[in-house]
Structure 1
Amino acid sequence: MSVDKLSERINKMREKPKKAYQKIGLMLQNEIVDGLYKVGDRLPPERDIAQRMNVSRTVVREAIIMLEIQQFVEVKKGSGVYVRKIPSASPSQNESLDNDDAGPFEMLQARQLLESNIAEFAATMATPNDIGRMRQALALEREELDSGSNESKGDEQFHICIAEATQNSVLVSILEDSWRRRSRSSMWKKLHSRIRGQEYRREWMEDHAKILAAIQRRDPLAAKIAMWQHLENVKQRLLELSDIDDPEFDGYLFSSNPVVSVELNNS
């Protein structure tokens, strides 16, 4: 191994990636450095990388996004991922890992676990004023879509209103922080840069209407399932819309909530 390659390995070791996608991205970087892939070469499909490295395709998707941000690879829709440049021995700011940036699908998984339970609790605690604010948020979301705006204030406001309906300020703060984290995330922005069109947002607005209906009925289990399914739909649509290999993506981080499944089986 050359001195440059050895220096590269030492630098990468010092960065100590904490997240699964960072570890997979670093492994792919090392393969590029070792000459397994050269500039202009096409990387294997996500499915093949996932099987070889024994991880989910969502983790590989996030690793590719990381490499894209670092400008090591170029994603060509409908064609694949191509090596753009070889990682350097002294990484620039663009090449360094941001260990605090969670992958977009990891964020969705965390939200799915948190917000399904928030919706369940909100269904038992919501006041008429809370319901009114949720309706206003849904109306704002509809206005944004009908006007063709790229704004998603109504979407965020709807989810925050549900948290506020729990009457628990800690839950509200946690959810607000998750939205701030998303807005700062270069990984999330890069994922959305691959997506064209707005129709998927109308589907999510319909999900919101189902969640609101369950909370209005004061049905905790229905609210929990509706929120869980909504975020599952978000995850699936983002996977499909951003997929460069196969529009019939068939993978999930996980497909069902064990708690919901147990409750349904016992009902």
Structure 2
Amino acid sequence: MKLTPSQQRPYQEVGEMLRKLIAQKPYAVGERLPPEREIAEKLNVTRTLVREALIMLELEGLVEVRRGAGIFVLADRATPQAPAAAESACNDAGPFEMLQARQLLESNIAGFAAIQATRDDIRKMRQALELEEQELASGAVNETENGDMNFHLAIAQATHNSMLVELFKQSWQWRENNTMWSQLHRHLDNTHYRKEWLSDHKKILVALIKKDARAAKLAMWQHLENVKHRLLQFSDVDDLDFDGYLFDSWPLDTANGQADLS
């Protein structure tokens, strides 16, 4: 069933406003749009919403985001794209919304896995990290992430709870099938960020080996926080300093303890 305007996600509503902006101005094909910050101010929305809307419009062939150069109009109207029959409704989620969901799910999985993990579970995690290192050494960028996936899967399996494993698998599948996530990854042109994430994975493994549930939970939370900041950095074509998030992460600790993950 097609979403009605009231059912649209925030970034989709902003995308609709951008379409009208391009059509009504009008901006000619090849012309550069205003910077993200100006668009956000004009539409009275956050820059993150603008950023996610631009990813959607890129997929439609309406605009092209050139890092360091700006946002350029490719066509005067978007090319409709019919969703695949098997595509899940969750694929409408933006990449940062997906990351927030993963933070909430996988940080708690890691904390529980620290208590439940066996020697065999730890062995599987070590093997996954070895594969991840081999993939990085090969120099292939975004061609294979089996080590990354295997590591996160091994942590879920270490809970010895089949429902948590299935929840993880489903969330990863949504990530793989999400066209906006794939579009964002297209802008990543080196392996430096994956090396940073490998370092995060090693910190998570140390906490799991020590059976330190709190440290494992915080390490996983921080890892996905690092992923989010890195992707936001790569997706910003105007300025590496952005002025707000659509999906703010809860702090690891607060004065009143309400967001404390312990």
- Alignment of 1:147 with 2:127, yes or no, is no
Residue 49 (str. 1) matches residue 42 (str. 2): no
Q: Which residue of 1 aligns with 2:128?
A: 137
1:191 corresponds in structure 2 to 184
CA distance in 2, matches of 1:266, 1:106: 20
Candidates 227, 238, 245, aligned match of 2:238: 245
Uncovered stretches (5+) of structure 1, i.e. residues with no partner: 1-11
> Counterpart of 2:52?
62
Q: Alpha carbons of 1:162 and 1:13: their partners in 2 closer, same or farther (altered >3 Å)?
A: closer
Distance verdict in 2 for CA 1:63–1:17, change over 3 Å: farther
State the alpha-carbon separation in 1 of the partners of residues 153 and 216 from structure 2: 15
TM-score by length of 1: 0.84
TM-score (ref. length: structure 2): 0.86
Confirm or deny that 1:22 pairs with 2:12.
yes
1:156, 1:66 → 2: CA distance? 25
Find the aligned partners of 1:266 and 1:78 in 2 and give their Cα distance: 38
Deviation at 1:251, TM superposition (A): 4.1
Question: How far apart, CA to CA, are the structure 1 residues paired with 2:38 and 2:167?
Answer: 36
Report the Cα distance in structure 2 between the residues aligned to 1:178 and 1:70, rounded to whole angstroms: 24
Paired residues of 2:135 and 2:147 also in contact (CA < 8 A) = yes
Q: 2:163 aligns with which of 149, 153, 170?
A: 170
What residue in structure 1 maps to residue 21 of structure 2?
31
Cα distance change, pair 143–220 in 1 and its aligned pair in 2 (3 A)? same
* Structure 1 counterpart of 2:72: 82
1:92-171 to structure 2, matched below 5 A, reads 92-93=80-81, 100-149=91-140, 150-171=143-164
Q: Per the alignment, in what secondary structure is the counterpart of residue 92 of structure 2?
A: coil
- Assess if the C-alpha contact under 8 Å between 1:123 and 1:220 holds in 2: yes
- Name the CA distance, whole Å, in 1 between partners of 2:232 and 2:202: 23
Deviation at 1:71, TM superposition (A): 0.8
Whether the 8 Å CA contact 1:225–1:260 is kept in 2: the answer is no
Which stretch has the larger CA shift, 49-58 or 232-241?
49-58
> Structure 1 residue 16: deviation in Å?
6.0
CA-to-aligned-CA distance 1:146-205 (integer Å, 9 cap, x gap):
122331100011111111111111111111111111111211111111111111100000
Tell me, yes or no, if the aligned pair for 2:114 and 2:216 is still in contact at 8 Å.
Answer: yes
Q: CA 1:241–1:37 in structure 2 vs 1: closer, same or farther (change >3 Å)? A: same
Q: Distance in 2 between matches of 1:13 and 1:32?
A: 23
CA distance in 2, matches of 1:156, 1:266: 24
Alpha-carbon separation, structure 2, partners of 1:211 and 1:67: 36
Alpha carbons 1:70, 1:94 under 8 Å: kept:
no
8 A Cα contact 2:252 2:260, kept in partner: no
Confirm or deny: 8 A CA contact 1:71 1:94 kept in the other structure.
no
Number of positions where the alignment pairs a residue of Structure 1 with one of Structure 2: 253
User: Which amino acid in the other structure matches residue 196 of structure 2?
Assistant: E
Give the share of equivalent positions with the same residue, in percent.
53
Q: What is the root-mean-square deviation in Å for CA atoms of aligned residues?
A: 2.8
Could you tell me how far 1:210 is from its partner in structure 2? 0.4
